[in-house]
């Protein structure tokens, strides 16, 4: 079974990426029937427009993180995406098969481009405008033949409301147009690139967090479209999620997914200094009440902390509830911080060693890229031949 997955080097590896992706990668690596590649997807990181120094640092940090977890062996090489040119080349081919509308509908694109909020506001204003028009119609019907001042005043009030809503709508349109020129085209094409990453390897399974499901689905769609137009070429991949931990939430805002882009207090990095790890976990927001109870609907913040406790102890939510029932939030967070540091202790130690030996990290990455090039060159040539390139 062929596995492919990757992480974008846009900052420190955090516990969300561990829970959603790396924990699965480690399990596949232990399974003798699986083989595959783990990629540092540096070209995807460019969509954030990082500084060259920052990008170089993040690429090496992510790769060292992979090695610290022991994520490399003969069956599972690691490599850097930009070291394997076929990824970019197939992206171009696939982009000619993807629809702009299809890409614009991707949730992550809408969120990152800042469209989601604006579009939601636009829907709200449009709905209110429609209600206002109905009110106007009713008023008009009621005022037929009558010239009461009351009706005239009401009429004026509704018309004024209409004008201010219209103005709001115009402002939202202006905002959308301004975004259009600022949002890089790379952000839109991002999932096509991800499809190329996956399809080049005849991938069966893509172990990822929930936020990537839609992207893997697009990879399937593009593979199907290519195959039906040019003949059987790409395998249809499927995503694999971790049950119960495929969407770790932010420590500061449990309605949002834990991510590097929200800011440092929102995530806890696997390799951050111990005092920072403790501080971040102790400052995590909690819900009202004091019971340690797993209930995402009424206690989203605490449920997320219980999920994290499960990730680093292997215990079920109900066991955790039972064990910490009456300790209170502060003591629970203290226990979580200690369990986190204990669970990642050996990986953190290994990472500190690797930081002193960047040549070793580069050596592994180069060896991995060679293996990846062997596979991908063949696949790319096959696809190019099928579409008629000479
Ligand atoms: P990225 O770098 O944002 O995240 C890396 C992996 O970690 C998972 N993840 C999470 N899982 C649970 N809870 C969270 N809070 C959380 N945050 C991140 C992500 O789902 C992902 O699996 N587009 C991808 C990288 C990519 C890729 C690929 C992945 C590029 N090409 C090909 C698989 C196959 C991304 O930006 O992931």
Whether the CB-CB separation of 141 and 111 falls below 8 Å is answered with no
What's the pLDDT tens digit per position in 244-292?
999 999 999 999 999 998 899 999 999 999 999 999 999 999 999 889 9
Closest CA to 87 of 190, 184, 13: 190
- Using pLDDT thresholds of 50, 70 and 90, give the confidence band for residue 196: very high
- The percentage of the chain sitting over the pLDDT mark of 90, rounded to a whole number, equals 76
357 occurs within a structural domain: no
Tokens 């960047």 locate to: 358
Residues 100/106/111/116 CA torsion (nearest 10 deg): 80
**Residue 387 has what pLDDT?**
97
pTM: 0.87
The structure tokens 């001042």 sit at: 149
CATH (domain of 297): 1.10.240.10
Task: Return the half-sphere exposure (C-beta side, CA atoms, 13 A cut-off) of residue 175.
Answer: 16
Cα separation, 217 vs 239, whole angstroms? 8
**Which residue reads 């219209």 in tokens?**
166
Q: Are residues 75 and 222 in the same domain?
A: yes
For position 143, what pLDDT does the model report?
Answer: 67
Task: Note the residue count of the chain.
Answer: 390
Q: In terms of domains, do 8 and 82 share one?
A: yes
Is residue 248 a part of any domain in this protein?
no
Q: Which two tokens stand for residue 272?
A: 């951050």
Residue 286's nearest CA partner among 239, 334, 238 is 334
Sole residue written with tokens 């561990």: 18
Is 108 among the domain residues? no
Tell me, yes or no, whether 134 and 167 share the same domain: yes
Sheet holding 78-80, edge to edge: 78-80, 35-40, 2-7, 205-207, 238-240
Same domain, 144 and 199: no
Give catalytic status of residue 255 as yes or no. Answer: no
| Residue ID of nearest Cα to ligand 1 atom 27 | 6
Q: How many domains does the chain have?
A: 3
Q: Which residues line ligand 1 (CB under 6 A)?
A: 4-8, 16-17, 19-21, 41, 44, 194, 197-198, 206, 208-209, 211-212, 246-248, 257-259
Distance 295 CA to ligand 1 centre (A): 25
Sign of CA dihedral 173, 176, 178, 181: negative
* Whether 93 and 221 share a structural domain: yes
> Is the model's pLDDT at 100 over the cut of 90?
yes
Q: Would you say residue 170 lies in a domain?
A: yes
The lowest-confidence range among 135-149, 250-264, 303-317 is 135-149
Q: For residue range 18-48, what is the model confidence (pLDDT) as tens digits?
A: 999 999 999 999 999 999 999 999 999 999 8
Q: Using pLDDT thresholds of 50, 70 and 90, give the confidence band for residue 118.
A: confident
Any bridge partners for residue 80, and if so which?
Answer: 40
Spacing of C-alpha 133 from chain mean position: 40
Here the CATH number for the domain that contains residue 92 is 3.40.50.620
**Is 283 found in the same domain as 330?**
yes
Same domain, yes or no, for 78 and 219? yes
- Single out the catalytic residue among 112, 240, 299, 379: 112
- Out of 8, 240, 260, 333, the active site residue is 260
The predicted pLDDT at position 145 comes to 59
112 is catalytic: yes
Tokens standing for residue 150: 């009351």
């Amino acid at each position: 079974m062929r596995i492919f997955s990757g992480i974008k080097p846009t900052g420190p590896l955090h516990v969300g990426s561990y829970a959603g992706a790396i924990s699965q990668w480690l399990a596949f690596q232990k399974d003798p029937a699986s083989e595959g590649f783990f990629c540092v997807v540096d070209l995807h990181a460019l969509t954030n427009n990082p500084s060259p120094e920052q990008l170089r640092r993040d690429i090496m940090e992510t790769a060292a993180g992979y090695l610290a977890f022991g994520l490399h062996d003969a069956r599972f090489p690691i490599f850097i995406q930009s070291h394997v040119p076929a990824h970019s080349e197939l992206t171009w081919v696939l982009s000619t098969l993807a629809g702009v509308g299809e890409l614009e509908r991707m949730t992550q694109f809408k969120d990152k481009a800042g469209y989601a909020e604006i579009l939601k506001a636009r829907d709200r204003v449009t709905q209110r405008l429609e209600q206002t028009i109905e009110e106007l119609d009713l008023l008009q019907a009621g005022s037929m033949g009558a010239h009461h001042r009351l009706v005239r005043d009401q009429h004026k009030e509704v018309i004024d409301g209409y004008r201010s809503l219209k103005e709001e709508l115009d402002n939202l349109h202006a905002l959308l147009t301004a975004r259009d020129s600022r949002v890089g085209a790379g952000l839109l094409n991002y999932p096509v690139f991800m499809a190329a990453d996956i399809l080049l390897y005849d991938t069966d399974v893509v172990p990822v967090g929930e936020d990537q499901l839609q992207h893997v689905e697009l990879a399937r769609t593009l593979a199907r479209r290519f195959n039906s137009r040019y003949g059987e070429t790409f395998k249809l991949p499927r995503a694999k999620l971790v049950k119960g931990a495929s969407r770790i939430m932010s420590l500061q805002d449990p309605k949002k997914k834990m991510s590097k882009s929200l800011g440092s207090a929102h995530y806890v990095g696997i390799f951050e200094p111990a005092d920072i790890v403790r501080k971040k976990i102790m400052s995590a927001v909690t819900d009202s009440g004091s019971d340690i109870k797993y209930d995402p609907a009424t206690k989203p913040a605490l449920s997320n902390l219980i999920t994290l406790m499960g990730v680093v102890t292997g215990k079920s939510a109900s066991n955790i509830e039972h064990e910490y029932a009456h300790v209170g939030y502060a003591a629970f967070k203290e226990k979580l911080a200690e369990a986190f540091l204990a669970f990642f202790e050996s990986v953190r130690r290994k990472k500190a060693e690797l930081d002193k030996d960047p040549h070793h990290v580069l050596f592994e990455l180069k060896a991995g890229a060679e293996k990846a090039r062997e596979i991908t060159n063949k696949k790319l040539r096959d696809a190019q031949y099928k579409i008629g390139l000479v």
